[in-house]
Structure 1
Amino acid sequence: MSTWKPPLRQVSLRVLCFLPHVTATVSTTPKTLAARIEDLLPQTQCTKCGYPACRPYAEAIAAGEASYNQCPPGGQEGVARLASLLGKPVIPLDTTHGVERPRPLAVIDENLCIGCTLCMQACPVDAIAGAAKQMHTVIAELCTGCDLCVPPCPVDCIAMIPVTGDATGWDAWTQEQADAARTRHDRRIARMERERMEAEARASARQASRAAQAAPEAAPAALSNDDAEAKKRAIIQAALERSRKKKEEMAKLGAGPKNTEHVSAAVQAQIDAAEERRRRLRMSDPNADPNEDSNDSGSDTPR
């Protein structure tokens, strides 16, 4: 089993010069517990721990939501590393998440591959090259042996071949390989987020273009509706004006309404209903004088 040495903490040296004095200060940026835990994980991004990647697993350990013995690729040495960091006892690897094993390499059978790209979409570190309807291949130097490309393959053309002999866990994996795998995983996540945002931007642009094309068609309909409302108001205004003039002419000739003092209840109800209709018509006319009496005839009809 290899001898593990803790990674050196990054230290930045800052020199501030002020004449005639020179002051040297050393500043460090301490890492969070989750980040320090992540540094000790093999970065295979295999999800065997029960989390979607190594970083979420590290955060769960730091929060006390997961145990530090759930990483099969790290093996028993990985458990020991985490126990040392956390100040906890070394416990056995939880084999319900998988067993410590030699590191495998994904190999694609070229004769069976149909170029569906599903394995490429599943690979967390972009270790598979290919194109739609073209034969795919695994870049051996980049494969972490995570097994994630196997389940989605519809023709079962991917095999996981052990390539490290009897070496398992961290004996089959180096810190340099882990760091490189983490970098590729982070780049993949950033690329996928960028592609998602670009796709949403294109969808928004298409929607805006369709809306702009539909606007000229909707404008005549809206204009037609406005014309209809204006025409209706003009008809109402003309009718009210004719009624007012007719009442004025009849009043000048002494032909105003008769018997307005002693009317029956039924007739008075009809008069009130007519006045109410005229009042509503005036309210619907924006050009009508709101202070003008709805009884244009000037009669003393009871209200």
Structure 2
Amino acid sequence: MTDSPKLADLIEDLLPQTQCTKCGYDACRPYAEAIAQGTANYNQCPPGGAQGIVRLARVLGQPVIPLNPENGVERPRPLAVIDEALCIGCTLCLQACPVDAIVGAPKQMHTVVEALCTGCDLCVAPCPVDCIAMVPITGDATGWDAWTQQQADEARMRHDQRLARLKREREAAETRTAARRASSSTADATRMEPPGSTAAATHATETAHTEAEAKKRAMIQAALERARKKKTELTAQGLGPQNTASVSADVQAQIDAAEARRQRLGIGSADAPDHATAPPSTPPKH
């Protein structure tokens, strides 16, 4: 019998690598491992569709079964499109994209690189101004008729690169935090140093960094407040958000993560979009 790690590799190679989390797992790899271990069924991947189930059933030596409707429906592959007129440059969609298919900078308009987008939907819900739409681009083609093995391989590579980048950034942040804590432990002694000393200069640098971070938080808060005001105005005109009727558990997790990031930055939750508290439900059809 094929051992679990090797089987997981074979299964992962057959998944579309959209990293959409609709299967109930954080990414394609954890889902592949769960199938190999027998803790997940092989019919939980809507992007792979019926053809994907056939591929997995063949490797597993199992019968072909229908897609589990609890995980979604097979559909034409969509593309995320950002309304440039409404984008406020909050970067929440950048943080949500599992394959780094969105480019932009804080307070600047973002855009989706069409060739890189996997149609995962994960950027939609975190957007505080509801400026992202999922537009079908493959006609009637669904599943592997709407997606190629080359696209899947490239998406997996970008996802792995993103995970590696996030790990580096996390480790760098932890290093900076440790350095600040070490510096603060000698803050009282530093204040007693005469002006112009090395310790005093270090303290001045730390103070400037803290002030810069506070200014950054204030700028983000102001941008989100403007977006909230714009959203209220659109709602009053009957042009409010259209993607808040139902939010899946997977998307809710993305919203919660974004809210946690805002809290770490010291930004209040008043700017959170109304759908951030919506109960989990079946993902809406686009």
TM-score by length of 2: 0.64
Question: Does 1:40 pair with 2:17?
Answer: no
- Where does residue 172 of structure 2 map in the other structure? 198
Taking the aligned partners of 1:71 and 1:186, their CA distance within structure 2 comes to: 19
CA 1:65–1:211: 2 relative to 1, 3 Å: same
Equivalent residue for 1:177, pick from 135, 147, 151: 151
Taking the aligned partners of 1:68 and 1:41, their CA distance within structure 2 comes to: 10
Secondary structure of 1:106's aligned partner: strand
- Where does residue 163 of structure 1 map in the other structure? 137
Instruction: Read off the aligned partner of 1:89 and give its amino acid letter.
Output: P
Indicate if the aligned counterparts of 2:82 and 2:131 stay in contact, CA closer than 8 A.
yes
Question: Does 1:69 pair with 2:43?
Answer: yes
More strand by share: 1
Taking the aligned partners of 2:102 and 2:109, their CA distance within structure 1 comes to: 11
Instruction: Read off the aligned partner of 1:164 and give its amino acid letter.
Output: T
Taking the aligned partners of 2:131 and 2:190, their CA distance within structure 1 comes to: 55
Taking the aligned partners of 1:134 and 1:206, their CA distance within structure 2 comes to: 30
Deviations 1:184-240 (A, max 9, x none): 00010111011000000011111112223445789xxxxxxxxxxxxxxxxxxxxxx
CA offset at residue 96 of structure 1?
1.4
Question: Does 1:115 pair with 2:65?
Answer: no
Instruction: Read off the aligned partner of 1:193 and give its amino acid letter.
Output: K
Q: CA RMSD in A?
A: 1.6
Taking the aligned partners of 1:58 and 1:95, their CA distance within structure 2 comes to: 19
Question: Does 1:129 pair with 2:103?
Answer: yes
Taking the aligned partners of 1:119 and 1:216, their CA distance within structure 2 comes to: 42
Percent of residue pairs identical: 73
Taking the aligned partners of 2:131 and 2:191, their CA distance within structure 1 comes to: 54
Unmatched 5+ stretches in structure 2? 193-286
CA offset at residue 95 of structure 1?
1.5
Taking the aligned partners of 1:156 and 1:147, their CA distance within structure 2 comes to: 13
CA offset at residue 82 of structure 1?
0.4
Instruction: Read off the aligned partner of 1:68 and give its amino acid letter.
Output: Y
Question: Does 1:189 pair with 2:201?
Answer: no
Taking the aligned partners of 1:116 and 1:217, their CA distance within structure 2 comes to: 37
CA offset at residue 71 of structure 1?
0.1
Taking the aligned partners of 1:90 and 1:109, their CA distance within structure 2 comes to: 41
Taking the aligned partners of 2:184 and 2:130, their CA distance within structure 1 comes to: 43
Instruction: Read off the aligned partner of 2:14 and give its amino acid letter.
Output: L
TM-score by length of 1: 0.60
Which stretches of structure 1, 4 residues or more, deviate above 3 A after TM superposition? 212-218
Unmatched 5+ stretches in structure 1? 1-29, 219-303
Taking the aligned partners of 1:100 and 1:217, their CA distance within structure 2 comes to: 64
Secondary structure of 1:141's aligned partner: helix
CA offset at residue 35 of structure 1?
1.1
Secondary structure of 1:32's aligned partner: helix
Question: Does 1:210 pair with 2:189?
Answer: no
Secondary structure of 1:105's aligned partner: strand
Instruction: Read off the aligned partner of 1:123 and give its amino acid letter.
Output: C
Deviations 1:242-298 (A, max 9, x none): xxxxxxxxxxxxxxxxxxxxxxxxxxxxxxxxxxxxxxxxxxxxxxxxxxxxxxxxx
Question: Does 1:105 pair with 2:84?
Answer: no
Equivalent residue for 2:122, pick from 117, 140, 148: 148
CA offset at residue 37 of structure 1?
0.5
CA offset at residue 179 of structure 1?
0.4
Give the number of the structure whose alpha-carbon radius of gyration is greater. 1
CA 1:152–1:217: 2 relative to 1, 3 Å: closer
Indicate if the aligned counterparts of 2:46 and 2:71 stay in contact, CA closer than 8 A.
yes
- Where does residue 96 of structure 1 map in the other structure? 70
Secondary structure of 1:159's aligned partner: strand
More helix by share: 2
